[in-house]
Amino acid sequence: MKKLYLSLIAIVACCTTMLFISCENNTHSVETPDENTETPDYGFDNYIAFNGEATELKSMCYIVNDTGDMGIQYAMAMTNAEGVTRFDDIIEEDEYLFLSLDQQTLMSAINDNEGKVDVMTIAPENVVYMFVAKMGEMDFIDNTYNRLHITKGELTLNMGQEEVISVSAYFETVNNDKIELAATLPYYEEEPIVTDTFFRYTWGDISVDSHVGSAYAEERAEGVIYTICKDAIKTYVYYEDTPFLKVEVAGKTLNDNFTIDVATYEGEFSIWACDPIKGMDLRVSNDNRTNRTGVIEVKGGVLSCTNLCYNDVTVNINFNETYRSVNECVEIVYDERTELFTPRSVILYNNPAEDSYQIYVSREANITTLQGMRNPDLVVTYPKEGWEKWLMNGNFVSGSSYPDMSIKLGRATYVKGEGECIGMNCQIPAYDPSWICLNINLYTEKGGAALYYSGTFTLIEE
């Protein structure tokens, strides 16, 4: 059986947990439609309907995966985008549906129960999950408890003779929303990755063979940092949520070519290969290289990691596409990440009148005065004690420690514990008179913001 990419395994595992938390917490029942009720004709063979309003599903497929500890899974992906043929490409879309069943549950339903599965009675280890990213108004995720809203549901599945699965489903939610699904999905067999851009590693009996989803390059005063991510993350702030390779090299610029044999390289370097989902963690540096081997090479912008090894971990990565800027901010709505912008101007203002500091951030370039910073995208205000005691030492300053701290995002101002604001923090991990690194996070009931900036800034003191 083919391996399902770990990002999908993580989604399935996480969301299975969410589904069964919801099952345990909801005691009322919602009846599924009477079997004699005539099925509405929405005019589409493949569709998702929300409270009677149908959206045609135009691309869909399923794969059979040996997920190791989770067993054989039948994973189905559907989207309203047209012409998407690969499973991974479907789940890369902004709008998609995802359904997963373990093999025993699926076969037992087909052989013993006319294909019917009551999703509320499946054991947690037998994954049944339906995920809606941004399909119209539908959203099954409870942002407060981060669990599914489904209170009742039934699937009916049929295996075709030509490697197809037909699925129909009916769900109701705690909000009494009604969701119907009908689709016929062809089988997609994952082919081995044969591209010159790849993310591969083995760790014991775990094997990952994937495309590179995103890559970031950062030039700092002391050197360069390359970060290669297996999954497509929308901003650098979240790189530690996905399997990644991070390479830091002192004394280099983004225009320099270099080769690091980790066993013999004499300069200062740090390499970190990690899969936070599975727990693989390999770190190598100029003062931590015992029994570690491998070569990192950057040539003409192409980064290759060849046989980076320690114990039973071996990492091979090649990336020859375009690197993205680390300086990106994203406004978060539930689990969707949108409103991406790149900070290009930063001002630190010592405000003597209010005994506070402000950090002004704008997507416009070359702003060096307060007058020019009339319409900032984000403003952080915090007491000077926070700046002097913690922030400039690279520590996080939070709204929990400093209740007077606030973040202005767009037209709204947030203070922890007021309104929908859950919390916030700010960090300056590195700083010198002309260059700064910023890490700012805001969390609200409806979303928030995450910002990472590395570059020049202006300090204004009065």
The two three-digit tokens of residue 142, written as one number:
């409870």
Say yes or no to pLDDT of 27 above 70.
no
Q: How many CB atoms lie within 10 A of CB 259?
A: 11
298, 233: one domain:
yes
Q: Is residue 367 a part of any domain in this protein?
A: yes
**Residue 26: what pLDDT?**
37
Given 136, 161, 186, the domain boundary residue is 186
**Residue 9: what pLDDT?**
35
pLDDT tens digits along 105-133: 888 888 888 888 887 776 655 655 555 54
The arithmetic mean of pLDDT across residues 268-292, rounded, is 93
Do the beta carbons of residue 212 and residue 193 sit within 8 Å? no
List all residues 6 or more positions away from 64 whose beta carbon is below 8 Å from its beta carbon. 1, 2, 72, 73, 74, 75, 103, 187
**Residue 245: what pLDDT?**
97
Query: Which residue stretches of 350-429 are H helix?
Result: 384-389
% of the chain exceeding 70 in pLDDT: 81
344, 423: one domain:
yes
146: left (phi over 0), alpha (psi -120 to 50) or beta: left
Say yes or no to pLDDT of 236 above 90.
no
* Whether the model pTM is above 0.85: no
pLDDT tens digits along 398-425: 888 888 889 998 788 999 888 888 899 9
Do the beta carbons of residue 185 and residue 64 sit within 8 Å? no
Distance, in Å, from the CA atom of 379 to the CA atom of 284, rounded to the nearest integer, reads 37
Given 324, 342, 357, the domain boundary residue is 324
303, 424: one domain:
no
398, 253: one domain:
no
- Total domain count, the chain: 3
Using the Cα atoms of residue 261, residue 264, residue 267 and residue 272 in order, give the sign of their dihedral.
Answer: positive
pLDDT tens digits along 50-92: 888 888 999 999 988 776 556 788 888 898 888 888 887 887 7
Lowest mean pLDDT among 150-154, 286-290, 439-443: 150-154
Q: What are phi and psi of 443, to 5 degrees?
A: -125, 125
Distances from the Cα of 258 to the Cαs of 83, 254, 294, 296, in angstroms? 41, 10, 14, 8
331, 294: one domain:
no
Using the Cα atoms of residue 357, residue 361, residue 367 and residue 371 in order, give the sign of their dihedral.
Answer: negative
Q: Domain range spanning residue 423?
A: 327-461
Q: 323 exposed, middle or buried (CB, 10 Å; 0-12, 13-18, 19+)?
A: middle
pLDDT tens digits along 31-52: 445 554 556 788 899 998 888 8
Report which listed range, 100-104, 126-130, 219-223, 267-271, is most confident: 267-271
Say yes or no to pLDDT of 15 above 50.
no
157, 128: one domain:
yes
231, 298: one domain:
yes
- For residue 403, the number of C-alpha atoms closer than 13 Å in the C-beta half-sphere is 2
Edge-to-edge strand ranges of the sheet holding 458-461: 412-414, 406-409, 378-383, 356-362, 345-351, 458-461
Residue 247 pairs in a beta bridge with 226, 271
61, 181: one domain:
yes
Given 290, 324, 358, the domain boundary residue is 324
Q: 209 exposed, middle or buried (CB, 10 Å; 0-12, 13-18, 19+)?
A: middle
Could you tell me how far CA 332 lies from the centroid of its own chain? 11
**Residue 134: what pLDDT?**
55
Q: Is residue 320 a part of any domain in this protein?
A: yes
Say yes or no to pLDDT of 30 above 60.
no
Using the Cα atoms of residue 338, residue 453, residue 451 and residue 18 in order, give the sign of their dihedral.
Answer: positive
Q: 300 exposed, middle or buried (CB, 10 Å; 0-12, 13-18, 19+)?
A: exposed
Residue scoring higher pLDDT (228 or 210): 228
Q: Is residue 191 a part of any domain in this protein?
A: no
Say yes or no to pLDDT of 444 above 60.
yes
412, 385: one domain:
yes
Distance, in Å, from the CA atom of 123 to the CA atom of 274, rounded to the nearest integer, reads 31
Residue scoring higher pLDDT (276 or 336): 276
59, 202: one domain:
no
100, 211: one domain:
no
% of the chain exceeding 90 in pLDDT: 31
